[in-house]
């Protein structure tokens, strides 16, 4: 097959997995770091910063856009990216709560 059976899992499991999946590539970690540090960060800057080709960066950006973590401001021919910090914080809590719940479950057992 090769296709994930999302339908057999609940929304929480699918959403948790989706967020972490998007973060699950070093290029995307690097891209988020770079955008967070630089005020006017465009595609070309990320190309220079990472050493990856422009279409590859563009592709990773659209992966990150899948969870709506990027805001973009069109300024002439440039597109400057920024992070939706509201949503980032929501995702931080979602993932952290997941870890905590697992931890609590483990401790309740013994």
Partner DNA sequence: TTATTATAATGTAATATTACAATAAAGATA
Partner DNA sequence: TATCTTTATTGTAATATTACATTATAATAA
- Token representation of residue 16: 């948790």
Q: Is 77 in the site for its own copies (CB under 8 A)?
A: no
**Binding marks (x or -) toward its own copies, 31..50, rule CB under 8 A?**
-xx--xxxx----------x
Q: Contacts with its own copies in 88-107 (CB under 8 A)?
A: 88-89, 91-92, 95-96, 98-103, 105-107
Identify each DSSP E strand in 34-92 by its residue range. 70-75, 78-83
Q: Is 54 in the site for its own copies (CB under 8 A)?
A: no
**How many other C-beta atoms can be found within 10 angstroms of the C-beta atom of residue 60?**
20
The CB-side HSE value for 35 (13 A sphere, CA atoms) comes to: 26
- Which partner, DNA, its own copies, none, binds residue 53 by CB below 5 to 8 Å per kind? DNA
């Amino acid at each position: 097959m090769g296709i994930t059976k999302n339908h057999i899992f609940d929304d929480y499991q699918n959403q948790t997995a989706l967020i972490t999946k998007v973060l699950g590539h070093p290029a995307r970690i690097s891209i988020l770091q770079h955008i967070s540090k630089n005020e006017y960060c465009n595609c070309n800057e990320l190309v220079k910063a990472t050493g990856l080709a422009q279409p590859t960066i563009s592709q990773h950006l659209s992966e990150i856009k899948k969870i709506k973590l990027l805001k973009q401001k069109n300024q002439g021919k440039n597109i400057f990216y920024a992070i939706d910090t509201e949503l980032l914080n929501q995702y931080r809590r979602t993932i952290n709560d997941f870890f905590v719940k697992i931890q609590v479950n483990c401790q309740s057992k013994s």
